[in-house]
Structures are given as C-alpha cells and as structure tokens.
Amino acid sequence: MKIKGHQSFYIRRGWIHKGIKKVNEDKSIFTNKKLTLTDEFGIGSNMVTSLKYWLDTLGLVERKRKGNEHYHELTHLGNLILERDPYLEEISTWQLLHYNLATNEKLATTWYWFFNEYNGNRFSRENLFNNLNRFIQEKYEKEVSERSLKDDVNCFLSCYVKKRDIESPEDNIESPFTDLGLIEIYNKKNGEIVYQRTSKVKLDVRVAFHVMKNQAKENKAMDLKNIIYSPNNIGKIFSLNMYEVIDILEKLQDLGYINFTRTGGLDYITFAKSPSLQEIMTNMF
C-alpha cells in the first residue's frame, strides 16, 4: 500500500515524454549524485521526486542494480511509447497508462481502490475520503493521517477532472488523464462539488484486447461477467456498462481478435489471436 508517493503533484503534460527521454539517454539520471536534477528536468526538486514516482507507477521504468551501482531502465512499454508515440499524443497511449495505474494496488492504492473496489457513481471529496479511509483500515489494518489521505484524494481528482470545469487555468497544467473522460463534475451546491463517473471517450478496442488478454493470463477463454465486473478488467477500469463492453467485443470479433459466444445466458469470449503489445501498438498508431 502506498499513499501520497506523488508528493501531491499530479501528472502534467510533457512530464512523461521528458522522463522517458531522459532515462533513455542516461540510465543513471535518478541516481547520479553529480547531476542537478532540477536543471536536467527543468522542474522543482519535489516535482522531480513526483515524476520518478509516476514513471515507476505507470510501468515505464524499472530500477536495476549492477554491483553497487543502481540505475533505471525503460520497461518494454516505456521503449514502445518512446518509439511509437514519444510525445504521448494518442489517447490510446493514455488508456494503456491508465490501465497500469488503476491496477497498481501496491504503488497507487487510491487509484486501484476507486476503479476496482469503490462502487459509487456520484460522490464528493469527503465521500471519497471517508470510504477510502474505511477501505484502508479494513484491508490493511493501518491508520493513515487525514492530511495524507485528503492529499491523495485531491491528487486523484486532479488527474481526471478537467480544471476548466472549476476554473480557467492554462491547459499545460492539466493532467492528460482528463482527456479520458472518466470523471466529471455533476453539480456544485453550497460550495460542495459532486462528481460522477463517465465513459465519454471511446476505449480503443485494441487496448481493451490487451487488458483482457493480460487478465486472462494463460486462459484461452473469459466469461462476459468477468470482463464487466471483475477487478482490473475493462468494465471496472474504464467504467463501462454491459452494452459498452458488448459493443467492444463485437468489434474485436469483427477484427478477428476474439470469438464472442452468446448461448443461453452463457456468454464468453475465446481468444483467436495472441499479438504482442508491440504488434497491438503498431496497429493502434
């Protein structure tokens, strides 16, 4: 479990491009004490710590050790993004990263909890705080300070809610995850904002296939109910209802990725293809 590893800084536009580019150029960039990281990245020291956390949590870098030396390398996904979409301009790239983030219970507990465990469709900050606090106490038997939890909830909402809905900031301080259309403001009353889940942006069907294949592991079939309701699958992670999931499955069947069987209430898919993530990203872009 981890709370507030981000130093209260949500992901800014341009951060991930800069991060994977720098790690690719110098594997020791985060461990070389001779470097002034604020100069290397052009951001403050706490932001550098936050950037390192996000690169790790999103599955883009991994820490390595050779003898007494520690360094970081790009993961397979990090290399693919650097090669295929280095400026992270494609919505599909952010959908892939959202999947990695929302399934990372160890490093992004609040994100995992909201998309997998929490069932509320409309909620306030206070509601999220109270339910998250209860979840942590019951599952991890730990007490986390009120300030840390509230900071985590604030950072979480800043990742997904467009700030222009609240105020009028410059676009470059908005999180790219807001483009996914997963959370929006429902209404504002008496100074309190009520938010709601949405699924306004179409999920790339190839991203959906990658998620399902990843969750299936070695299994060659998957039940429709698992796709919709199981933790870490597309229904939960992207807040999709049954009809939206079925639409994705039918499109994947048309593309030849899966076979979708619907007989007497026993609805399931079988995987017809096993493309690599590299092949999936090539087709996406």
pLDDT band for 65, please (50, 70, 90 cuts): confident
Distance CA 174, CA 157 (A): 11
pLDDT band for 34, please (50, 70, 90 cuts): confident
Domain ranges of the chain: 15-90, 98-197, 205-284
User: Residue 172 above 70 pLDDT?
Assistant: no
**pLDDT for position 168:** 46
Least Cα distance to 115 among 197, 29, 26 occurs for 197
Write the pLDDT tens digit of every residue in 117-126: 999 999 999 9
Pick the CATH number of 205-284 from 2.40.160.40, 3.40.50.620, 1.10.10.10, 1.50.10.20: 1.10.10.10
The answer to pTM > 0.85 is: yes
**77 Rama sector, left if φ>0, alpha if ψ -120 to 50, beta otherwise:** alpha
Buried b (16+ CB within 10 A) or exposed e, 29-68: bbeeeeeebeebbebeeebbbbbbbbbbbbbbbeeeeeee
Distance CA 106, CA 57 (A): 9
pLDDT band for 165, please (50, 70, 90 cuts): low
CA 128, 15, 42, 72 torsion: positive or negative?
positive
Fold match between 15-90 and 205-284?
yes
Note the Cα 47 to chain centre separation in Å: 19
Q: Top-level CATH class of 15-90?
A: mainly alpha
Report whether 73 contacts 37 (CB < 8 A).
Answer: no
- Helices then strands, each counted (H, E), the chain: 13, 8
User: Residue 209 above 90 pLDDT?
Assistant: yes
